[in-house]
Amino acid sequence: MEEELINTKNTALSFILEAKGERELEEIRLQFLGKSGKLTLTIKGIAKLPIEKRPEIGVLANDVKKQIEDALGRKLEELLSQTTINCDIDQTDPGIPSPIGHLHPTTQVLNETIDIFKTIGFQVADGPEIETDYYNFEALNIPKDHPSRDTQQTLFLDTRNTNITPGEIILRTQTSAMQGRIMEKIKPPLRVIVPGKVYRYEQVDASHGFEFWQLEGFMIDKNVTLTDLFGTLTYFLKQLFGEDTKVRFTCHNFPFVEPGVEAYMSCSVCKGKGCGFCKKTGWVEVLGAGMIHPNVLKTAKIDPKEWQGFAFGTGFSRIIALTYQINDLRTLTNPDVRVLKQF
């Protein structure tokens, strides 16, 4: 092994002396000192020698390694010193700046929305995007045979070769799925918003997508009325879009609220004049809401005679589009830096 170490050293030193550049020098270092380098493998073989020979060979191996490392260092300094600077280059001229990223428009509007709701006592919660049928539907008064399930356009996970009943694990279609989870763990009074991604099998166009953001919110307390809901949503929309924003409500049916309403606001893209985003009406539906159905409260073991509450949910991607006057939701998922720089 002593002869092998000496030969390795001599070979390495000769290669180092003939090296013409930094890349070649790095290749030589890896060839001899890398994890699979010649010297590294030779040193590992010391353990197989008789015990009485190991100290002597070990000292030699360390000396060989140090000589190679020193030679590499000297050669690198020599190569760097030979690098010449073109005198025609103005060294005081600033270089090309590196691009600096910033928060995505989704994050920007989400942070602002959270701040608005925090000022009126709401807490923020998060939950799983892979959800169970129970929390996404049944806990929200939507049994398996309910016709409203057809409108959810649910994406089911493949559970073949598992002990899970087919159809029980899905990609959540609404952040409302967190209502049951939260009400089971936290007893009223409570005020919560739940922002997050949801998934539906929808045709992608300027105002729809198969993956988009929602914002769920609900409040449970004593003596909560529908006017509390109207006041909360009007406050939120005017804080986010400006005091000049017009808000109106219409009756609607949702299985998990009774009565149910939809909230509309004047289109911020066209300022109410009519455009493709608002379908030429000047109004955009931004929220579905209502008083929490007694069955939902009972499922969570909350007495509806003592506690009342309201819930609301918005397609948050649409809120973002309205905030920045974007007429196509697909812009929010465009990775082109030139697009993102505009926000």
Residue pair 304/297 in contact (Cβ under 8 Å)? The answer is yes
Q: Quick: pLDDT tens for 278-331.
A: 788 888 888 999 999 999 999 999 999 999 999 999 888 888 888 888 877 788
Residue pair 39/7 in contact (Cβ under 8 Å)? The answer is no
Do the domain assignments include residue 188?
yes
- With bands split at pLDDT 50, 70 and 90, how would you rate the model's confidence at 83? low
Do the domain assignments include residue 52?
yes
Q: Which residues, at least 6 apart from 28, have a Cβ–Cβ distance to it below 8 Å?
A: 12, 15, 16, 19, 72
Do the domain assignments include residue 89?
no
CATH number, domain containing residue 228: 3.30.930.10
How many structural domains comprise the chain? 2
Residues 288 and 155 in one domain: yes
Do the domain assignments include residue 94?
no
pLDDT at 335 over 90: no
Tokens of 44: 């590992």
Residues 76 and 109 in one domain: no
Amino acid sitting at position 194: V
Residues 77 and 112 in one domain: no
In three-state form (DSSP H/G/I as H, E/B as E, the rest C), the secondary structure along the chain is CHHHHHHHHHHHHHHHHHCCCHHHHHHHHHHHHCCCCHHHHHHHHHHHCCHHHHHHHHHHHHHHHHHHHHHHHHHHHHHHHCCCCCCCCCCCCCCCCCCCCCCCHHHHHHHHHHHHHHCCCCEECCCCCEEEHHHHCHHHCCCCCCHHHHHHCCEECCCCCCCCCCCCEEECCCHHHHHHHHHHHCCCCEEEEEEEEEECCCCCECCECCEEEEEEEEEEECCCCHHHHHHHHHHHHHHHHCCCCCEEEEEECCCCEEEEEEEEEECCCCCCCCCCCCCCCCEEEEEEEEEECHHHHHHCCCCCCCCEEEEEEEEHHHHHHHHCCCCCHHHHHCCCHHHHCCC
Interatomic CA distance for residues 275 and 328, integer angstroms: 11
Do the domain assignments include residue 18?
yes
- With bands split at pLDDT 50, 70 and 90, how would you rate the model's confidence at 216? very high
Do the domain assignments include residue 238?
yes
- With bands split at pLDDT 50, 70 and 90, how would you rate the model's confidence at 31? confident
Residues 206 and 283 in one domain: yes
pTM of the model: 0.66
Residues 76 and 135 in one domain: no
Residues 45 and 162 in one domain: no
Do the domain assignments include residue 100?
no
pLDDT at residue 87 in the model: 54
Do the domain assignments include residue 92?
no
Residues 59 and 116 in one domain: no
The domain in which residue 68 lies consists of 2-81
Residues 191 and 289 in one domain: yes
